[in-house]
Copies of this chain bind each other. A is one copy, B any other.
Amino acid sequence: MSTLPQSTLRRMPIYLHFLKTLRSGDNRNVSATRIASALNLGEVQVRKDLAQVADGGRPKVGYELTALISAIEAAIGCKDPTVAIIVGVGNLGKALLEFAGFEEFGLKVIAGFDIKQDVLSSDRGKPVLPIENIESFIKNNSVKLGILTLPNAAAQKMADKLVSGGIKAVWNFTQTHIVVPDTVALRNENLAASLALLNVQMKTQSECV
């Protein structure tokens, strides 16, 4: 159970979501075979992935459903919630601020920050605060994760502020390449990259037809 390979880790949330839909049915056990066919994945791949986070898989029976769900939740770290803030409450920031789906994976977004006055103190349940107070807010609320959804130009400056406030991880939704210390985890969410893949895939597929 040491450290999972990235590729395995990336599939865990997919398994988790599927297993939860099974649970709402009347299922007690589930086999790797079944998961694989439901999600269009290789049978061996699923089995190997599961073997890395769970044990107790029994031949002819499979895994106990609730135990497996619990094991995956532990592996991807959504048992104890990660407290997060959104920096930049534009359209995307607003969407992520209000997105309920994150809680399923242990993310607890508690506030948004912005410079613009007109988005401030909107009563959506989650407060939108002026950006000046961000460093003390991080400290006082032990915020672990900062989500950057602001204009490219401001990205690095705000990342620096987050770091000096003591943040542990940065999730960068801007196009800008940003730099953080080694002690801070960084992930770039690159929608453009996905789009490029899809674009090319689409074009080569229709050529073949």
Contacts and interface: CB of A to CB of B under 8 A. Distances in A.
Interface residues of A, number: 65
Given A107-B195, A169-B202, A101 B175 contact: yes
Contact of A94 (B6, B76, B91): B91
Contacts of A40: 177, 179
Nearest to A182: B205
Contacts of A106: 199
Interface in A173-209: 175-177, 179, 182-185, 187, 189-206, 209
A39 interface: yes
Given A194-B171, A195-B102, A201 B177 contact: no
B168 A202 contact: yes
B190 A171 contact: no
Contacts of A104: 192
Q: How many copies does the complex hold?
A: 2
Nearest to A77: B199
A57 interface: no
Given A144-B202, A204-B3, A14 B169 contact: no
Contacts of A190: 10, 13-14
Given A92-B96, A169-B198, 14 more contacts: A3-B204, A10-B196, A11-B193, A12-B196, A13-B192, A14-B190, A40-B177, A40-B179, A91-B98, A92-B95, A102-B195, A107-B195, A185-B201, A189-B191
14 contacts: A10-B193, A12-B193, A17-B192, A38-B177, A40-B179, A78-B196, A92-B95, A92-B96, A92-B99, A94-B95, A106-B199, A171-B198, A185-B202, A185-B205
